[in-house]
Amino acid sequence: MTDPVRAVAYRHSFPISDVDSLIDIEMPAPVPRARDLLVNVRAVSVNPVDVKRRRGSDPEGDPTVLGWDAAGVVEAVGREVSTFAVGDEVYYAGAIDRPGTNSQLHVVDERIVGPKPSTLSFSEAAAMPLTALVAWESLFDRLALTAESRGTLLVVGAAGGAGSMVVQLARALTEVTVVATASTPESQKWVLALGAHDVVDHHDLVAEVGSVAPDGVNYLFSTHSAGNVDAFADVLLPGGGIVAIDDPEDLDLMPLKSKSIAWHWEFMFTRPLFHTADMAVQHDALERVAQLVDAGVLRTTMTTELAPFNAATMRRAHQLIESGHTIGKVVVAGF
C-alpha cells in the first residue's frame, strides 16, 4: 500500500452528533521505529477511552487519530524486531501516547502485540486486546490472583467490554466464584453465558450481593466507582481488594480503612506509556489469551460489527459507546 493512507481523525471536541466530530482524512504512511511493526489494519474496536479522549482533549485543529484496538497483518518490521515477520496476523491495543489505530496503516511496538487468535476473524479479534489486557492486569497483577485462588469476586459492570473479559478470565484461570452485576435481561443473560456463577442488579448492590454472597466478597472489579465506595466497603470482607478502571472525581476511600481493604488502579496503557522494563508482559498475555480462544476456553466479546471504515461509521460507533448501554464490544471493519 502506498501513500496516502486513509484514516479517521478529529480536529476539535465537538458533540458526536456534529458531522465534524470525526472526519475522513488522508495522511502519509507511518514509518516503523526499530521495535515497531507496520500493520495493515483490518478491523478496530471502539472503547470508552476513545470517547473520553475525543470529548476531553481538543487538538485545536490538528488532525488527531484515535483508536486503541486493532487486528491486522504485518506489512513491514523495524530493524530490531524479533517476534513477528511480514505476513503475520496480529492483534493489539496500542499506546495512548502514539497515533491511534483508526487508520489503514498503523505502527506499534512489537512488545505489546500478540498473535491473532487463528480461530477468529479480524473483527472478532479486534474486540479483545484492550479489554483482555485490562482484565489480565486487574486479576493477576493488581489483585494477584493465581490458579489456586478461591473466594468470591464481584464484577461491577460485567456486561461491558472489560467486565466481560474479567468474568471469562477469572472462570478460566482461577477457582474464584464470580458474581456479576448486570441490570437488564439481555446483559444478565450475556454475563451468565460468559461464565458468571451469579448475577445481581447494581442498583441495590448491598442487598443484591448479600442475597448470593451473605458472608461478603474477597475481591471487587469496578467500572463504576463514584458513589459506590460505601457499598464496596459493606460487601467486601476485611483484607479484601478492589481494582478500579474508571475515572471518578473526588473519591473518598476512608470507608475502606477499618477493614484494611486495598484499592488498586488499573490503567492498561501504563507499561507502553512509561516504557517499563516488562512491556513484553503484554505480548505474553495476549499470546496466552489467543491460545485460550483457540482452545475454545475464551470467546470474543464482539456484539456489534459496523462497516465500512469511514468517519460516518465511526461516529455511529462512538454514539453507541456514549449511550452507556452497549453489551460487549463495538467493532468497525471494512477497511
Rounded CA-CA distance 297/51 in Å is 31
Domain 131-265 has CATH 3.40.50.720: yes
78 alpha carbon, distance to own chain's centre = 26
Angle at 247 between CA 233 and CA 330, to 5 degrees: 110
pLDDT for 3 equals 78
Q: Give yes or no for a cis peptide into 185 (omega within 30° of 0).
A: no
Name 251's Cβ contacts closer than 8 Å, sequence gap at least 6: 225, 226, 229
Amino acid 126 reads: A
pLDDT for 324 equals 87
Encode the chain (335 residues) as per-residue pLDDT tens digits.
467 999 999 999 999 999 999 999 999 999 999 999 999 999 999 999 999 999 999 999 999 999 999 999 999 999 999 999 999 999 999 999 999 999 999 999 999 999 999 999 999 999 999 999 999 999 999 999 999 999 999 999 999 999 999 999 999 999 999 999 999 999 999 999 999 999 999 889 999 999 999 999 999 999 999 999 999 999 999 999 999 999 999 999 999 999 999 999 999 999 999 999 999 999 999 999 999 999 999 999 999 999 999 999 999 999 999 998 899 999 999 99
**pTM of the prediction?**
0.97
Rounded CA-CA distance 46/68 in Å is 8
pLDDT for 2 equals 65
CATH number of 5-128+275-332: 3.90.180.10
pLDDT for 325 equals 87
Amino acid 296 reads: G
CA dihedral 274, 240, 140, 200 (to 10 degrees): -110
Query: Which residue matches cell numbers 460489527?
Result: 305
Three-state SS string across 245-278, please? CCCCCCCCCHHHHHHCCEEEECCCCHHHHHCCCC
Residue extents of the structural domains in the chain? 5-128+275-332, 131-265
